[in-house]
Structure 1
Amino acid sequence: MFQHYWKIAFRNQAKNKLFSIINLFGLAIGLAVAVLILNYVSFEYSFDGMHSKRDRIYRVESQFYEGDVLTDDWATSSFGYGSAIQNEMTGVEDYVRIGVHNMEQVVSYQEKRSRETGIAYTGPSFFSVFDFQLLEGDVASQLERPNTVVITRDVAHRFFKDENPIGKILTFASGSSFQGYEVTGVVENFPQNSHIRYNYLISYTSLPDWMREYWYIHEAYTYVELSPGKNPADLEAAFPQMAEKYKTGDALKNKKWGVSLVPLSDIRLNPQKQYERETKGNQRALVTLVIIAIVILLTAWINYVNLTTARSMERAKDVGVRKVSGAFRLQLIRQYMTESWIVNLLAILLAAILVLALRPLFNQLIGESVGLFILKEPRFWISTILMLLLGIVASGFYPAFVMTRVKPAVILKGNYFNSGSAGTTRQILVVFQFAASLFLICGTFIVYKQVRFMQEQDLGVDINQTIVLKYPVSRDELGQKVAMFADNLKQENNIQSATVAGSVPGMEVAYFASNRLQGDETQHRLFEMLTVDDHFVETFDFELAAGRSFQRGFGNDQQNILLNEAALASFGFVKPDEAIGQRVMLEGEAEPAEIIGVVKNWHQRGLSNAHTPIIFLMNGRIGWIGPRFIAVKTAGKDYDAILSLLEQRWNSYFPESSFDYFFLDQFFDQQYKTDRRFGRIVSVFTGLAFFISMLGLWALATFTASKKVKEVGVRKVLGAQVGHVVFLFSKEIVTLLLIAIVIAVPISVFAMKSWLLNYAFRTEISWWVYLLGGALTLGIAMLTIAWQSWKAATRNPVEALRYE
């Protein structure tokens, strides 16, 4: 019996090769895209799942309140949180601190020297809380002694090649500090799906004594391992009262100190916070990708349903004869389900080939090198089987149900094709395809509109023709050497200016201090502290709202400060002029600083970030806030010659330091990399969904045209013009598209308004987006059916009637 079903199924598919191929490739493309997307989504959701105690590990993140209002929310904690939580709270089995205050240093071994990132300070519990694999060295004694370091396998190979790295000394340099660390262990490269990824783990005891338990520098990640059944909310509730014991300083005294215990598995996809070093995933983007995958898959299945039901006329008499001959309805349903099984199974096999072929392009599109991660997941195989079964049922049951419920007499009279039993459902499915395509197309337009808005917005700062050098290291008189280096550069014809600063546009200032107006004992606000020299404002062409900038030789500017406009409200000023001459008590400083100028707001970071309160102070004003960059504004565009000059000068001043630089405009633009990538992803998959929809529409129009040959012939004999015939074919599509627009537009407006709320500065949703999207969808749909309409309309009616 089943052999007969398979034979008939293959015969029916071979009889209409074009439609069978469209069905097969449409389903294969949909399945392949769905697998690639779900593979990436599964990878993102798998982060930090390799640890055996992952369900009991939480990251302690800092929160500060004024009353019940959350004013500051940081991903990091202070150096003292971890030990205090374990000592004074119950239910904490272990903790580990990872200091990230100096993650970039110049590392050297013999003649090899390079600027390295991913440097962290941590203790022995790192290897007991987490399950990272130590390749060399004794895990029980790692990171106990001062001045020891554990390096990754890649770092070991890079510095030591085939030598045994254990016992070797690496020199780490930052500013004028040089320190040797003994390599005591080699750890396997951190997994790609781990948010904890460092290249060097320096023993925590290597930090200065005063810093190890200090509560006023929040530059450590703290992870706690809770006892089974311990509720993290209990620790969060108890922390503010415990913190009062440790708030011994004046800074942040008026705020309530709180913490949020974030589950290890949630860290990757939580929104980015201040002080957070690692790159985060985007949960909204993942949800969008899943929706697109579902739309593409449903579109492919809808094509199958539509084409199968549309082809019902060809098979109607066969079904009628079978039913008259005594065939049971269940037998006919089995026949249709067998055909659906064959098409879906072949589509899955073809989809597997497409996945292997398209994976490199997909990885390039998403900007991640993700292997076939889900092949190792039992959930993938279960979901694949469920997807196959769902596809068979979804794309096979409805055509079977429609065909087998029609009375044999109606079928044998030839009236079935004109009946509305299958037409209404087919129209509903086509409306869904159009609505989904229009939703994705308009969404793509708005994503690109937002990206362009951010890239074209006036930043309020000049970042063009600027080369930024990373701060050097030197054992002797580093500050003087840097000042001389910058001053001498200004004498060159192709150098317009040079400035030394703690940050440049495009990055978080990253140093915070609690400051207040002199005489105001109640208000302490957190400000980003930007250390600069007297050329910073002119180099970046900042505009002053009031007062003046720093000027060399002008009074005692070392004791003065500048504010940006965003800082005015924090001090209670309404107008910029009100701030001039006022004095501010800076955190940890005994003498007040005078406000001499107010800088107009600029975009220190991308437009997804709001303006933050920033205070400018001169380099060296506060010891723990030092410069990190030398920005060089060029007068010409012969960058090869300029870079050669800079490197030559650099090597003469800083022979112990690597020469590292970046172009500021390119660096700033990297902030929009994620948004551009998201736009590309949406546009590519929108195009695929639309292509599959139009493929099905073309096949449907082709088949419909073949069944209306006689009707068209009669109409032409009776005097119908070509335009009337074309209208006959297109009016249904236009009607369905208008219905789809009415459905898709309000949903899209709501969804895109919600998406734009992620940006502090955002574009408007314009009416022309939906007009253009609708026109584009309608235009392509009409082009898709135009050829079949034209052929039917221009055909000789005599041939058409003879054909019938």
Structure 2
Amino acid sequence: MLKYYIKIALRDQAKNKLFSLINIIGLSVGLAVSVVIINYVSFEFSFDKMHQKKDRIYRVESQFYNGNQLTDNWGTSSFGYGSAISKEITGVEDFVRIGVHNTEQVVSYQEKRSRETGIGYADPSFFTIFDYKLKEGAYNDQLKRPNTVVITEAVAKQFFTNENPIGKLLTFATGTSFSDFEVTGILEDFPPNSHIRFNYLISYETLPQWLREFWYMHEAYTYLLLAPGKNPKEVEAQFPALAEKYKTADALKSKKWAITLTPLGKIYLNPQKQYEKEIKGNRKSLITLIIIAIVILLTAWINYINLTTARAMERAKDVGVRKVVGAYRYQLIIQYLIESLLVNLIAIAAAIILVFTLKPVFDHMLGENIGLYILDEPKFWISAIVIMVFGILLSGFYPAFIMTRVKPSIILKRNYVNSGSAGITRRVLVVFQFAASLFLICGTFIIYQQVKFMQEQDLGVDINQTIILKYPVSRSDLKNKVDMLAEKLQMEKRISSVTIAGAVPGMEIATFASNQIQGKGADQRSLFEMLPVDDRFIETFDIKILAGRTFQKGFGNEREKMLVNEAALSTLGIPDAATAIGKKVMLEGESDPVTIIGVVKNWHQRGLSNPYTPVMFIQNDRLGWVGPRYIAIKVASTDYDAILQQIKRSWDSYFPEASFDYFFLDSFFDAQYKNDNRFGRIVGVFTALAFFISGLGLWALAAFTASKKTKEVGIRKVLGAQSGNIIYLFSKEIIRLILIALLIATPISFMVMKNWLQNYAFSTNISLWVYLAGGAATLSVAMLTVLWHSWRAATRNPVEALRYE
């Protein structure tokens, strides 16, 4: 019997090659795109799941409250949190700290020298809490002694090409500090789905004694291993009381110190917080991609249903005759399901080829290659089987249900395809297809509109034609050498300005101090970002001064002066810029106040997804713990190669031991929008594919409808109907369906995209033209498809049409 069903199914598909091909193309594209998307989404959700103790590992993240109001929320903790929590709160088995206060240093070995990132200071428990694997070295000998370091395989290949790194010394340099570290272990490169990705792990004992348990620098990641059954909420609840015992200094003393214990597996997809060094994923974007995959797959299956039910008239008599001669309903349903299975299996085979074709394109859009991660996941195979069974039943059972529930006498007497619920259902499904396509199209427009808005918005700061040098290292006299380099470059004709600062636009300043207006109580202290600059910073970046002046050489004791931005005024409780001039501010840890001499207009220090933050400008040498890190060079020429060669010659004469590292500020700033641009491209491509599948189905439906109306068109033309009347006959229904789809998609899209835009502190407005353009584009493509077939029918010789059938 099964052989008979398969034979009938193959014969039917061969008889209708065009519609079979369209079904297979639609299904194979839908399946391939869905697999590629799910592969990526599954990888993103798999972060940090490789550790055996993952369900008991939590990261300690810091929170500060004024009363019940959360004022600060950081992804890091202080150096002292881990040991205090472990000692004073029960149910904590172990902890590990990774200091991230100095993650970028110049590393050298013999003649090789490079500025390296991903440097952390870790406790020995790193290898007992996590399951990262050593390639060389003993686990019980790692990170225990001062001045020892564990490096990754990639670093070992970089510095020790033909040598065994174990026991060798690497020199780490920052500022005027040069230290040698013994390599004790080689770590296998961190898995791509690990949020912890350091290139160098230096022993925590290397840190100065005063810093190891210091509570007033929140520049460490702390991970707790809780005992089985220990509720993390209990640790969170006990921490504020614990903090009162340790926060003995004035800084933030009036605030309530709290923590959040974030499960290891949720860190990567949680929203980015201040102080977090790693690049994080975006849960909302992943959910969007899942929805797109579902829409594309449903669209492909809907095409199959629509075409199958549309062709019901051709098969109606066959079904009727078989029912008359005794065929049972379940037998007819099995026949349709076998056909659906056949088409889906052929589509799966084609989809496998497409997956390997599309995967490199998708990887290029992502900027990374994660492989076919899901092939090793049992959950994928189980889910794939369930989804395919669902798809086969969905696309096969409904047409079978429609055709087999009608009495044979009705089928044999009239044209069933024009009656009953089959036509209504087909229209509903077409509306769904185009509503989904419109939703995706309009969403794509808004994403691109937001990215364009961010890139074109006035930043309040000039980042054009600016070269940024990373601060050098030197064994002696570093500050004077940097000053001399800056003065020398300032005299060059092709260089208009040079400034030295602790941060440049495009990056988080990330150095905080708890300050207050002089005379205010301790409860008035607030956190401000402290930005060390020189007298040329405001001029170089063309930041507007609202009141007062900037720093000036020879103007007196500028060390005891400061500038603030507009955002700092409200935090200080100052009503306007003019009133701020002359106000005195007490800096954290200082006994003498500094005077506000200028107020600058708010500028976008980082991308427009971030709000304005309170910033205080101080002189570069004012606070020892907040030093300069960059030399910004504004150039007056676009001959960058010649300028860079000139800068490099001067650099080498002053800093022969330092690597020469630079970047262009405008490119660096725009890199903040890399993820937004990438997401826009991905959504755009998949939207185009979803629309392509919908259009393919519409083309097939229009072609089928035209073939069935051939005789009707011939009669109408004989009776005097014009081509325009014929075209209107074909197109009026599709216009109505698309308008209904637009009415459905518009409010849903508006609500969803309005919620998405709330992720940005500064966002564009959703314009009416987005929906008009999306509707017009959809209608145009649909009309071109329908018009082509209707025009062919309208211009056909009526005699041929009347001979049809």
User: TM-score scaled to structure 2, two decimals?
Assistant: 0.99
Which residue identity lines up with residue 152 of structure 1 in the other structure?
A: T
Which residue identity lines up with residue 752 of structure 1 in the other structure?
A: M
Aligned to 2:272: 272
Aligned to 1:443: 443
Q: CA RMSD in A?
A: 0.7
Aligned to 2:674: 673
Aligned to 1:236: 236
Contact residue 345 and residue 388 of structure 1 kept, 8 A: no
Aligned to 1:621: 622
Alignment of 1:303-702 (within 5 A): 303-521=303-521, 522-702=523-703
Residue 72 of structure 1 aligns to a residue in which SS?
strand
Aligned to 1:150: 150
1:45 aligns with 2:45: yes
Aligned to 1:750: 751
Separation in 1 of the partners of 2:591 and 2:625? Answer: 15
Aligned to 1:802: 803
1:778 aligns with 2:779: yes
Separation in 2 of the partners of 1:368 and 1:151? Answer: 23
Residue 248 of structure 2 aligns to a residue in which SS?
coil
Contact residue 489 and residue 498 of structure 1 kept, 8 A: yes
Separation in 2 of the partners of 1:517 and 1:391? Answer: 67
Alignment of 1:17-416 (within 5 A): 17-416=17-416
**Uncovered stretches (5+) of structure 1, i.e. residues with no partner:** none
Which residue identity lines up with residue 153 of structure 1 in the other structure?
A: E
Which residue identity lines up with residue 206 of structure 1 in the other structure?
A: T
**1:360-410 per-position Cα deviation (integer Å, ceiling 9, x unaligned):** 111111233111001010001101111210111010000111111122122
Separation in 1 of the partners of 2:589 and 2:647? Answer: 37
**1:424-466 per-position Cα deviation (integer Å, ceiling 9, x unaligned):** 0000000000100111111111111111111110000000000
Separation in 1 of the partners of 2:162 and 2:488? Answer: 43
Identity of aligned residues (%): 69
Q: Measure how far apart 1:418 and its partner are.
A: 2.0
Separation in 2 of the partners of 1:162 and 1:676? Answer: 41
Residue 451 of structure 2 aligns to a residue in which SS?
helix
Contact residue 93 and residue 227 of structure 1 kept, 8 A: yes
Separation in 2 of the partners of 1:704 and 1:447? Answer: 37
Which residue identity lines up with residue 136 of structure 1 in the other structure?
A: E
Q: Measure how far apart 1:417 and its partner are.
A: 2.3
Contact residue 80 and residue 215 of structure 1 kept, 8 A: yes
**Uncovered stretches (5+) of structure 2, i.e. residues with no partner:** none
Residue 307 of structure 1 aligns to a residue in which SS?
helix
Q: Measure how far apart 1:678 and its partner are.
A: 0.9
Q: Measure how far apart 1:420 and its partner are.
A: 2.7
Contact residue 513 and residue 530 of structure 2 kept, 8 A: yes
Q: Measure how far apart 1:768 and its partner are.
A: 1.0
Separation in 2 of the partners of 1:254 and 1:772? Answer: 54
List structure 1 runs of 4+ shifted beyond 4 angstroms. Answer: none
Q: Measure how far apart 1:802 and its partner are.
A: 1.0
Residue 610 of structure 2 aligns to a residue in which SS?
coil
Contact residue 309 and residue 417 of structure 2 kept, 8 A: no
Residue 549 of structure 1 aligns to a residue in which SS?
coil
Alignment of 1:700-779 (within 5 A): 700-779=701-780
Contact residue 79 and residue 218 of structure 2 kept, 8 A: yes
**1:211-238 per-position Cα deviation (integer Å, ceiling 9, x unaligned):** 0000000000000000000000001011
Separation in 1 of the partners of 2:622 and 2:678? Answer: 41
Separation in 2 of the partners of 1:724 and 1:386? Answer: 48
**1:53-72 per-position Cα deviation (integer Å, ceiling 9, x unaligned):** 00000000000000010000
Separation in 2 of the partners of 1:785 and 1:113? Answer: 66
Residue 705 of structure 1 aligns to a residue in which SS?
helix
Separation in 2 of the partners of 1:788 and 1:157? Answer: 64
Contact residue 467 and residue 634 of structure 1 kept, 8 A: yes
Which residue identity lines up with residue 567 of structure 1 in the other structure?
A: A
Residue 449 of structure 2 aligns to a residue in which SS?
helix
Residue 655 of structure 1 aligns to a residue in which SS?
coil
Which residue identity lines up with residue 73 of structure 2 in the other structure?
A: D
Which residue identity lines up with residue 610 of structure 1 in the other structure?
A: P
Contact residue 706 and residue 793 of structure 2 kept, 8 A: yes
Residue 239 of structure 1 aligns to a residue in which SS?
helix
Separation in 2 of the partners of 1:684 and 1:255? Answer: 49
Which residue identity lines up with residue 786 of structure 2 in the other structure?
A: I
Contact residue 509 and residue 531 of structure 2 kept, 8 A: yes
Separation in 2 of the partners of 1:400 and 1:562? Answer: 76
Which residue identity lines up with residue 676 of structure 2 in the other structure?
A: D
Q: Measure how far apart 1:742 and its partner are.
A: 1.2
**1:463-499 per-position Cα deviation (integer Å, ceiling 9, x unaligned):** 0000000000000100000011001101100000100
Which residue identity lines up with residue 255 of structure 1 in the other structure?
A: K
| Alignment coverage as a number of residue pairs | 804
Contact residue 515 and residue 526 of structure 1 kept, 8 A: yes
Separation in 1 of the partners of 2:785 and 2:591? Answer: 77
Q: Measure how far apart 1:350 and its partner are.
A: 1.1
Contact residue 303 and residue 694 of structure 2 kept, 8 A: yes
> Is the deviation greater in 431-440 or in 319-328?
319-328
Residue 451 of structure 1 aligns to a residue in which SS?
helix
Separation in 1 of the partners of 2:168 and 2:422? Answer: 77
**1:71-123 per-position Cα deviation (integer Å, ceiling 9, x unaligned):** 00000000000000000000000000000000000000000000000000011
Separation in 1 of the partners of 2:67 and 2:341? Answer: 63
Separation in 1 of the partners of 2:611 and 2:736? Answer: 45
Q: Measure how far apart 1:640 and its partner are.
A: 0.4
Which residue identity lines up with residue 454 of structure 1 in the other structure?
A: M
Residue 417 of structure 1 aligns to a residue in which SS?
helix
**1:640-676 per-position Cα deviation (integer Å, ceiling 9, x unaligned):** 0000001111111100000000000000000111111
Contact residue 313 and residue 415 of structure 2 kept, 8 A: no
**1:187-209 per-position Cα deviation (integer Å, ceiling 9, x unaligned):** 10000000000000000000000
Separation in 2 of the partners of 1:218 and 1:601? Answer: 26
Q: Measure how far apart 1:696 and its partner are.
A: 0.2
Separation in 2 of the partners of 1:626 and 1:415? Answer: 84
Contact residue 435 and residue 744 of structure 1 kept, 8 A: yes
User: TM-score scaled to structure 1, two decimals?
Assistant: 0.99
Separation in 2 of the partners of 1:253 and 1:124? Answer: 32
Separation in 2 of the partners of 1:349 and 1:800? Answer: 40
Which residue identity lines up with residue 99 of structure 2 in the other structure?
A: G
Q: Measure how far apart 1:414 and its partner are.
A: 3.6
Contact residue 147 and residue 181 of structure 2 kept, 8 A: yes
Which residue identity lines up with residue 763 of structure 1 in the other structure?
A: T
Separation in 1 of the partners of 2:559 and 2:463? Answer: 26
Separation in 1 of the partners of 2:101 and 2:429? Answer: 57
